[in-house]
Amino acid sequence: MAAGPPGPTATPGAGRSAVAPAQVADTAPVTGEGVAAGGARAGATGAGKAIAGRALKGMVDIPEIGIVLAVVLAFVVFASINPLVASVSELQNLGVDLAGFGILAIGESFTIITGGIDLSPGSLTAFFCVISAWLLATAHLPVLLVFVVTVLFGALWGLWHGFLITRLGIAPFVATLVTFIFAAGANEAIAPNPIPFANTTFLAVAGSNVARVPVAVLVLVAIALVAWFFLERTYVGREIYAVGGNREAARLAGIPTARRTVTAYMVSGACAGVVGIIVASHLTSGTADSVSGWELIAIAAAVIGGVSLAGGQGRVVGVVAGAALLVVLRDGLVAVNVNAYYQSMVVGVVLLVAIVLDRFRARRLERSGGSTKGVPTARAGRESDAAAAGAPLPGLASLGGPEASSEEAQPKQPAY
């Protein structure tokens, strides 16, 4: 019988050969491409860590970061003791209070940056609270005209302060102290009793919200943005810093020091007018004793926020953060039923700490002869020498002013 074709012959290990490719794939040696891919992943991880490290270092270098963290910590502590602190209604009330203190502190910071001080914002706030209500309820002016007249009146009062200081040579402390006393008496004379009003537009300033945000807070944000841009992004703003850093050097460099000083006090007066409107709207009347000691709160907020009492240094962001810290402390202590006397003591301690830190910062700047990162400042020593030699002040040339020189290399300008 013929033999058929040979069948498949079993080979030792043939059963294992069917799965060998999968096993080989799992145990394949690492190739150059695999090493490259692993290196790329490690490089990406390292780059990410480097970026995160730089970002963290940048946050730490921001002067206001400590104040912001203090605000957050204080709020968390008070909210843990009394959960109502974090309610929407309480946050809105806190926002209205912050608007008043913050705007007043921004105006105060302008005068301190020039090397002066304004003791009148508290009394002027109560005065404009009464005046705005009187103009609306008694003089029957349109509400928008009331707003304009009140703010312009504040600016004119600041102009008066500037005249006393720059033309008559009266010390800022004395010139503004006179207004502090005068306005306190004028409040009582104009409104021995509260002046009520019911205009809905006026009441909306402190009583209405946009997407749950009080209108007063939006006003604060708008004023803060304008003040920030003016001080840190305009030629006139740089000149205000220069006046506070070294008035004589600024004068020799051609800066109109008197006009810049007057501008600062006009801003402070106008801010007091705005806050007077907010307070009147919040109280629904013009009340003579509506505020008390707000000028000290404004000064404290500015100093806590990094504005140097020696002048020439400070940022609007820090001022608003300082005001936020004081408002959170004040309202938080009320929410946890702390006696009012202890509230004043806490504010005093916080202010003392801020002043001590300000002095340490000033000494460090004197030793380094420069400025801290991110803090606008006008250097005094080398600017005075440069001005005496007829050279422009550092930082002014970059803005294209008349003192700029395209031929000579300018000293390194401060970080604004």
C-beta neighbour count of 92 within 10 angstroms: 18
pLDDT at 293 over 80: yes
Q: What number of CA atoms fall less than 13 Å from residue 371's CA on the CB side?
A: 27
Statement: residue 8 has pLDDT above 80: no
pLDDT at 266: 98
Domain-located, residue 8:
no
pLDDT in tens, 230-271: 999 999 999 999 999 999 999 999 999 999 999 999 999 999
Q: How far is CA 12 from CA 8, 325, 344, in A?
A: 13, 83, 95
Which residue stretches of 10-119 are H helix? 14-17, 20-26, 32-61, 65-81, 88-113
The pLDDT of residue 34 is 56
* Domain assignment present for 291: yes
pTM of the model: 0.77
Q: How confident is the model at residue 388 (pLDDT cuts 50, 70, 90)?
A: very low
What is the span of the domain harbouring residue 90?
63-368
Q: Write the CATH number for 184.
A: 1.10.3470
pLDDT over 60 (residue 153): yes
Number of domains in the chain: 1
Instruction: Read off the pLDDT of residues 46-60 as tens digits, 9 standing for 90 and up.
Output: 666 666 556 545 444
- Is 414 domain-assigned? no
In a domain, 322, yes or no: yes
Lowest mean pLDDT, pick from 23-27, 173-177, 179-183, 382-386: 382-386
Least confidently predicted of 141-155, 239-253, 282-296: 282-296
Asked if the structure places residue 411 within a domain, the reply is: no
Q: Is residue 224 one of the residues assigned to a domain? A: yes
Is 341 within a domain? yes
Q: What is the mean pLDDT of residues 191-199?
A: 93
Q: What is the DSSP string of 346-397?
A: HHHHHHHHHHHHHHHHHHHHHHHTS--TT--B---HHHHHHHHTTPPPTTTG
Output the average pLDDT for the chain.
81
* Residue 413 within a domain: no
Residue 374 pLDDT: 45
